[in-house]
Amino acid sequence: MLRFLTAGESHGPALTAIVEGMVAGLPITREYINEQLARRQGGYGRGGRMKIEKDQVQFLSGVRGGRTTGSPVTLQVINKDWANWSEIMAPGPEANLNERVVTRPRPGHADLAGAIKYNHDDVRNVLERSSARETAARVAVGTLARCLLEELGVEILGFVRRIGSVEAMIEENLAMEELQKRAGQSQLLCPDQQAEEAMIKEIDQARKNGDSLGGVFEIRAYGVPVGLGSHVHWDRKLDSRLAGAVMGIQAIKGVEIGLGFGSAAVPGSQVHDEIHHSPDRGFYRSTNRAGGIEGGISNGEPVVVKAAMKPIPTLYKPLLSVDLKTKEPFAASVERSDVCAVPAACVVGEAVVAWELAAAMVEKFGGDSLEELKERVNRWRQLVRQV
């Protein structure tokens, strides 16, 4: 079984993750994880913090000579900004608790609900952990999973479909390589260059207005074998697990598998994917509206997950709030903030989808070393072709 935990505050010394259950012998480099961490830091519309950080991973356990050993893998990303916060964030009595106190909860953030739930007078005790800074650790973890998937013939691709009112025009059936190339050339990870220009204008306008923007990204997984997940229990369904993982990203408020909400508005003949068979391909579909999952089980077509991100809660023209202490109405606090972080969230989306698929692979095929797992997956792929 694959599992992980992350720990760390946004302005604490570091983010840490422990991954348990990763097979032995998986080749992994710091450089590959750092590349994904850099992608997560990118995107037009991010705030000043990203100029301070240059995320780099360290392996503290479980990796030796460029390969996993089968022991728990500890990953760490240092927060450079900690140098500016060490007094405020100190764990002992030396902590300066009187500075940067936050008592005006921001609508849309975890501030108010978190402060009430954990009985804090200072919202900082909540926002430090609710911050999406934590997603750096999840991207590091997800990259480990992504490496495993690549060894097993599964490729993950993410791209941005919408920012604010601007929607990208993306041809159906565009080949994975072309999509990847176009998204890779765009700072917003948007495969439609014209839309990207309009998105940038909209982000500039939002910044000028002291406002923020959300959007939609899509994650696809190619090469997923038939049979991941199961119809037999709600919590074993692959679509349920993917939706939970993607919804678990800060600010994600909607998740669709395949046609998703679109499937509610049209008749079944325009939703379900007809089944074909040929000797060389075995069973296949000419459409993929189901997003590669039926009955909670992967059906061999690409897995397609879309996510809606709400606009960033911290506004430079803050919304009305109430001071926790005085109960007086005030404008909410303004922490330094992103205006739009949809491309960054998309990279996190790739990571969490990679994680869930890798976990489902390990669950179905088992094995303690990469060789063992690979052999089992290859045998299954052969068997499926013969059905």
Ligand X SMILES: Cc1cc2nc3c(=O)[nH]c(=O)nc-3n(C[C@H](O)[C@H](O)[C@H](O)COP(=O)(O)O)c2cc1C
Ligand Y SMILES: C=C(O[C@@H]1CC(C(=O)O)=C[C@@H](OP(=O)(O)O)[C@H]1O)C(=O)O
Residue 260 binds: one of ligand X, ligand Y, none (C-beta under 5 to 8 A by kind): none
* Residue 318 assigned to a binding site: no
312 labeled part of a ligand binding site: yes
How many residues in the chain?
387
CB of 126: closest distance to ligand Y in angstroms? 10
CA–CA distance, 372 with 370 (Å, rounded to integer) = 5
- Does the annotation place 40 within a ligand binding site? yes
Task: Give the β-pairing of 73-78 and 14-20.
Answer: antiparallel
Report whether 314 belongs to an annotated binding site: yes
The DSSP letter of residue 154 is -
82: CB partners within 8 A, 6+ apart: 11, 12, 13, 14, 89
Q: How far is the CB of 123 from ligand Y (least distance, A)?
A: 11
Answer yes or no: is 297 a known binding residue: no
With CB under 6 A as the contact rule, the residue among 64, 117, 325, 336 that binds ligand Y is: 336
Site string for ligand Y, 7-36 (x = CB under 6 A): ---x--------------------------
Q: CB of 366: closest distance to ligand X in angstroms?
A: 33
Q: Least distance to ligand Y from the beta carbon of 329, Å? A: 23
CA atoms of 18 and 339, how far apart (whole Å): 31
For ligand Y, give the closer residue by CB, 300 or 313: 313
In the numeric block, the tokens 């678990």 are attached to: 248
Which residue lies nearer to ligand Y by CB, 139 or 259? 139
- Looking at the DSSP assignment, which residues form a beta bridge with residue 99? none
* Residues in 231-250 that interact with ligand Y by CB under 6 A: 250
10 binds, among ligand Y, ligand X, none (CB under 5 to 8 A by kind): ligand Y
The 10 Å Cβ neighbour count of residue 274 is 8
DSSP secondary structure letter of residue 213 = -
69 labelled ligand-binding: no
Q: What is the largest CA-CA distance in the chain?
A: 74
236 annotated to bind ligand: no
47 binding ligand Y? (CB under 6 A): yes
> Residue 134 binds what, of ligand Y, ligand X, none (CB under 5 to 8 Å, by partner type)?
none
Residues in 53-82 at the binding interface with ligand Y, rule: CB under 6 A: 53
Q: Is 291 helix (H, G, I), strand (E, B) or coil?
A: coil
Is 338 among the residues that bind ligand Y (CB under 6 A)? Answer: yes
Q: And the tokens for 94?
A: 């030396």
> Is residue 106 close enough to count as binding ligand Y by CB under 6 A?
no
SS percent in the chain: helix, strand, coil, step 5: 40, 20, 40
The answer to whether 193 is a known ligand-binding residue is no
Query: Do the annotations mark residue 138 as ligand-binding?
Result: no
- Residue 133 interacts, among ligand Y, ligand X, none and using kind-specific CB cut-offs from 5 to 8 Å, with ligand Y
Query: Given the complex with ligand X, which of 225 and 311 has the nearer CB atom?
Result: 311
Contact (Cβ atoms closer than 8 angstroms) between residue 242 and residue 353? yes
Beta-carbon contacts of 350 under 8 Å, excluding residues fewer than 6 positions away, are 36, 142, 146, 156, 157, 158, 219
**Of ligand Y, ligand X, none, which one sits near residue 249, judging by CB under 5 to 8 A according to partner kind?**
ligand X
Secondary structure in 3-state letters for 10-72:
CCCCEEEEEEECCCECCECCHHHHHHHHHHHHCCCCCCCHHHHCCCCEEEEECEECCEECCCC
Sign of torsion, CA 58 60 64 68?
A: negative
Please indicate if the annotation marks 46 as binding a ligand: yes
HEC string of 184-195 equals: HHCCCCCCCHHH
Residues contacting ligand Y: total by CB under 6 A: 13
For residues 105 and 120, is the Cβ–Cβ distance under 8 A?
A: no
For the window 127-166, what string marks contact with ligand Y as x by the rule CB under 6 A? ----xxx--x------------------------------
Query: Which residues of the shown chain bind ligand X in the complex (CB under 6 A)?
Result: 47, 108-110, 130-132, 135, 249-251, 310, 312-314, 337-338, 341, 344-345, 348
Shorter beta-carbon distance to ligand Y: residue 24 or 77: 77
What's the CA gap between 235 and 241, in Å, rounded? 7
Which residue positions form the known binding site for FMN? 129-131, 250-251, 295, 310-314, 336
- Which residue numbers belong to the known binding site? 40, 46, 129-131, 250-251, 295, 310-314, 336
Name the binding residues for NADP(+): 40, 46
Q: Which residues bind ligand Y (CB under 6 A)?
A: 10, 47, 49, 53, 131-133, 136, 250, 335-338
